[in-house]
């Protein structure tokens, strides 16, 4: 079932669970995500990095195959661009048929962020496409550029942004970082900040940098208004490890066999994150 993100996460927000959004790379990884969602009877969102759509597969090429998988799925599936930084590329994904898009103008001054996202929300209305914005900044594991205090979301500014833009979801920063976390590293999430953001906004919130976040912290995030949890690094790592380990075990395995091992490992990872999201069994 191919659906927009907005109603999907609004239902999650109102019923105390979150929908997992997983970063895919191609048709095979999108299929792994959908298979895991079907097994869990969970709604799911398939994200594609903006850089992927520029350097690997344009949206107009990618969308037909993934959309066909989504339409045939027995659970609700949305497709979105993740951290779309360039307005013209976000518009391209909407025109190509993505049911959702993230317009991330958070690096701009606040007033410009509002203006850019408001334009995209207005453009998307004709297509029935859901829009996610972001207030605050997300750090990354790469280069040890972890999220810092001054990058985190201000609750009142977040509320002003939601009112001014009409977004369906808001990505907020309260301590998580993008990327595969170093072994033993535990992100410190500011739940008091998240609670204040939720009270101020009253709209579905989004956790980015979900990889490596403990199940307990994911559950606590959901309890404080997070209705969409993004996870990419752990999913990609599971794919890679499944492939590499199977090849190491038997170097004579055919490519399609290796891909099957990657698929199985990827599905296990998706299911493991869906559990603390509370979305298992929620598909209608």
What residues act catalytically?
82
- Burial code (b: 16+ CB inside 10 Å, e: under 16) for 18-36 equals bbbbbbbbeeebbbbbbbb
- The whole-angstrom separation of Cα 221 and Cα 277 is 9
Per the structure block, which two tokens stand in for 179? 């990327």
**Cα dist from 3 to 29, 200, 233, whole Å:** 19, 28, 25
- The whole-angstrom separation of Cα 65 and Cα 165 is 32
Q: Are strands 77-84 and 226-231 parallel, antiparallel or unpaired?
A: unpaired
Contact assessment for residue 34 and residue 73, using Cβ atoms and an 8 Å cutoff? yes
Contact assessment for residue 271 and residue 36, using Cβ atoms and an 8 Å cutoff? yes
Residue 259: count other Cβ atoms within 10 Å of its Cβ: 17
Residue 125: count other Cβ atoms within 10 Å of its Cβ: 11
How many angstroms from the chain centroid is the CA of residue 127? 21
Fill in the DSSP letter of residue 150: G
């Amino acid at each position: 079932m191919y659906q927009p993100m907005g109603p999907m996460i609004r239902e999650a927000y109102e019923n105390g669970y979150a929908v997992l959004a997983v970063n895919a790379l191609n048709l095979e990884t999108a299929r792994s995500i959908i298979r895991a969602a079907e097994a869990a009877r969970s709604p799911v969102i398939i994200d594609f990095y903006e850089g992927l759509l520029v350097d690997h597969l344009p949206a107009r090429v990618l969308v037909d195959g993934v959309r066909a998988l989504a339409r045939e799925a027995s659970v609700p599936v949305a497709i979105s661009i993740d951290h779309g930084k360039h307005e013209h590329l976000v518009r391209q994904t909407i025109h190509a048929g993505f049911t959702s898009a993230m317009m991330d103008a958070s690096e701009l001054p606040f007033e410009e962020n509002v203006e850019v996202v408001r334009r995209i929300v207005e453009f998307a209305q004709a297509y029935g496409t859901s829009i996610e914005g972001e207030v605050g900044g997300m750090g990354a594991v790469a280069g040890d550029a972890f999220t810092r205090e001054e990058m985190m979301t201000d609750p009142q500014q977040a509320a002003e942004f939601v009112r001014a833009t009409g977004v369906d979801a808001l990505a907020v920063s309260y301590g998580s970082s993008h990327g595969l976390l170093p072994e033993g590293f535990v992100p410190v999430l500011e739940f008091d900040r998240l609670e204040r953001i939720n009270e101020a906004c009253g709209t579905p919130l989004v956790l980015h940098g979900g990889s490596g976040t403990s199940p307990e912290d994911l559950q606590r995030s959901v309890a404080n208004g997070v209705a969409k949890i993004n996870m990419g690094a752990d999913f990609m790592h599971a794919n890679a490890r499944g492939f590499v380990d199977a090849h190491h075990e038997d170097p004579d395995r055919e490519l399609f066999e290796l891909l099957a091992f990657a698929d199985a490992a990827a599905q296990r990872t998706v299911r493991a994150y869906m559990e603390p999201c509370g979305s298992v069994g929620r598909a209608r």
